[in-house]
Structure formats: C-alpha cells, structure tokens
Amino acid sequence: MRDEFEGGQAPLIDPQFELAFSGWYWQITRLDLPHPEIRTSRSLFATQLPSLAEGGSSATRGAVRSGYVVGPGDKPLRMIEREIDDEEGRYLIQVAANADVIQTQIERFEYALAATFLALAVALIGSTALAVRFGLRPLRVLQQGLSAIRRGEAERISGDFPQDVAPLAAEVNLLLEANRAVVERARTQVGNLAHALKTPLSVIVNEADSSSPRLAEKVREQAGVMRRQVSFYLDRARAAARAGAAGAATEVKPVVEQLIRTFEKIYRDRAIAFVAEAPDGLRFRGEPQDLTDLIGNLLDNAGKWAHSRIVIHAEPEPAAEASGRRYFAASIDDDGPGLDEQERAAALERGRRLDESRPGSGLGLSIVADLAAAYGGSLKLDLSPLGGLRATLRLPRL
C-alpha cells in the first residue's frame, strides 16, 4: 500500500471515480503518522470525505461502518468505511456514492421485486384454481352421481375415478346396495306376511258366510294363527333390517360368556355343563343383539335336548382370496339324541322347530338361518362328536 501512496493512485475501474464531483468517491487515509496522509479519487477534486466516526457512528477498529454524510456540493452521500491495520500502518478506507442514485436503484430493485412477487402470486393463484377445478372434478362427478341416485335417475355411481377417489365411490355403491338389500328383504317379509294372512282370513270369511255356530271358536283359532304369523314375519323383518346396518362390530367372547352364565342358571336343576372356547379379539361384523339371538337360540335348543354337556367353540376362518371377506365359525355341540339327515333338513324349514314337543322361546332355527344369511353367513346342522346335534354358524368378522 505504501508503494501506491508513493507511486500515485492506481487506476480505477469505474470511470465515474475519475470525473470531478461525479458523486462517486473513494478516499484512503493513513492514520498512524503524525500528520495523516490522504489519497483520494480524482472525482473529489481537492476535497475530502468526512469520517462516519466523527458523526457519532461506532469507531470499533476493523468494523465496517455505513451511513449518510454531506459531500462536495452539499450533496448527500451514502458511505461505507473501515479501518485496516497491516505491517505498514493503519489506514481508513472510505467509499461513497450519490445517495439519490443509490435510492433510485433501491427503488428500482423494490419495484422489480414487487413485480416478481406479484407475478408469482398470480401464477400461484392460477395454478391453485386449476388444481381445484381439475383436481376436485372427480368429487363433483361423485356428487352428481349421488344427486342422480336421489332423483331416481340412477341406481349406482358409475364412471372412472382416480385411484384416491375410486375406493370412496366403491364404498358408496356398497352402502347403496346394502340399503337396497335391506329394503328388498323387508318388502319380501311384508309380502310373505300378507300371503300368510290370506288363508286365516279366508277361513273366517267362509265361517261367517255359512253362519256356522263355531264362528267364535274359528275366529279365536285363526286370530292365534295370524298373531303367530305377524310375530314371525315382523321378527324376520327386524332381523333383516339389523343385518344391513353398517359399521357395527361385536366382541364374540363376552357375548358367549354372558349367554352361558344365563343358561347355566336356567338349566341349573339338570346340572348341564356348559363349556366355551372363544379366542380374545374375535369380533362379529354385526349388531350385539343379533349375535345374542343367533347363538342364544342355538344354546336354548341344545339345552332342551342335552343330557349333561354343551360345548360352544368359536374360531376364525382364513380370509377368502377372491373376495377378501373374513368369517368365523361358531359350533354348538350337545350330547342329546340328535337328529337324522331328514330331520335336520326339516328343522330349518319355515315355521319348524327342533323342540316342537317342548315349550320354548326365541326366533326359531329358520329365523337363525335367515338372519345368518342376511349377514352373508350360514347355519348348518350336523352330527356332533358328543353324540347329539352340532349347529355351526358361519358369520362375517372384522
């Protein structure tokens, strides 16, 4: 640096530092001499730059100071300065520029930055609008499909949906089919009830037309028949409606244990032993009341015919590979007299019960079979290893 001071100023790159009072200046002051030596750009033209330290700015050695000063011609300048120590001495290096020019450049930069952010905002809003319009289009198609079903113009949602929406459309279709099946089963039971009541009503009408002296007796007899028919088909309709309920799940083991405690009290005098084998965590995909009715009626039937022992065993079945649905099997074995093949087939016919010669209650085996079928399951009667009857329920599970 001493060579620069002794040999003159080094040529500057920017020509504005060469023009007198151009507003662009530099100044180097050597501070370690008794009389500071000052070298300046030609643009200062025998004038000097004031120091920011004199104006109250921090004078920490080595730190870069910046601020505004009044330069030649009383024009405001934006200046930065720094004190540097080296082996040759201590120097104060200052560089200043026209504050108006810098402010103009700052404003231009701010305008350019604002324009850039505005363009980005417009692009973001546009891309978001396009994403909403085209990304949510499958949901609008789904909503239109549901509206068409509500108006009776369609029976199910159809169309191609993206991978994320297709499962929702499929579940909605399954729900619609389940509700439609519930209505159809209820309509079938109502039709069956109407058909079953025709015969008793015809008998009453015929007795009335013939002025039979046994009219009152016939009316009571046929009224009992109709009452049983109404109760029978109403139970079937209720069971069909409950089987279509979505989202229900019931733990199997607590229901079985509760039923066993109940039947142990009922058959305490006969000292029948009830044994339950059901794993923890096994859950029936249906209503608790339905599971209670299904297993309870089979236990009730087994209790009426068993000699001393009833075993209920529940276990899950492997998932079906084709449909992916999962089932569990619950078998009720007794050591009673059992039934032959023809009697087992007859026991599942409408209105027939295994215990016709004994008093009892419940929905009956035909209702148990129908309710199991409503859930997509089944009831099967077979010979038991205990020597009596085995009733096997196959029901859906979670």
Lowest-confidence region among 118-127, 226-235, 255-264: 226-235
What is the count of structural domains for the chain?
3
pLDDT tens track for 366-376: 778 878 887 88
pLDDT tens track for 279-310: 999 999 888 888 898 899 899 889 888 999 99
* Contact in structure between 61 and 83 (CB atoms under 8 Å): yes
What is the structure's pLDDT at 236?
66
Is beta strand 309-316 parallel, antiparallel or unpaired with respect to 327-334? antiparallel
**Quick one: 254 and 369 in the same domain?**
yes
Final residue belonging to a domain, choices 180, 215, 243: 243
CATH number for the domain spanning 369: value is 3.30.565.10
Spatial CB neighbours of 10, under 8 Å, sequence gap ≥ 6:
4
**Quick one: 28 and 95 in the same domain?**
yes
Q: What's the mean pLDDT in 216-238? A: 77
Is residue 374 situated within a structural domain? Answer: yes
**Quick one: 183 and 217 in the same domain?**
yes
Is residue 147 situated within a structural domain? Answer: no
**Quick one: 272 and 359 in the same domain?**
yes
CATH number for the domain spanning 83: value is 3.30.450
**Quick one: 257 and 228 in the same domain?**
no
Q: Is the pLDDT of residue 114 over 90?
A: yes
For residue 184, give its domain range. 170-243
Helices (H), 136-214: 137-150, 166-209
What is the structure's pLDDT at 110?
95
Q: What's the mean pLDDT in 107-111? A: 94
**Quick one: 212 and 80 in the same domain?**
no
**Quick one: 12 and 62 in the same domain?**
yes
Final residue belonging to a domain, choices 243, 259, 281: 243
What is the structure's pLDDT at 1?
42
Helix 288-305 to helix 215-243 angle (10° resolution) is: 130
* Contact in structure between 84 and 30 (CB atoms under 8 Å): no
Phi first, then psi, for residue 76 (nearest 5°) are -70, 135
Is residue 133 situated within a structural domain? Answer: no
Is residue 116 situated within a structural domain? Answer: no
Which residues make beta-bridge pairs with 187? none
- The tokens of 131 are what? 């994403």
What is the rounded distance in angstroms from the CA atom of residue 60 to the CA atom of residue 82? Answer: 9
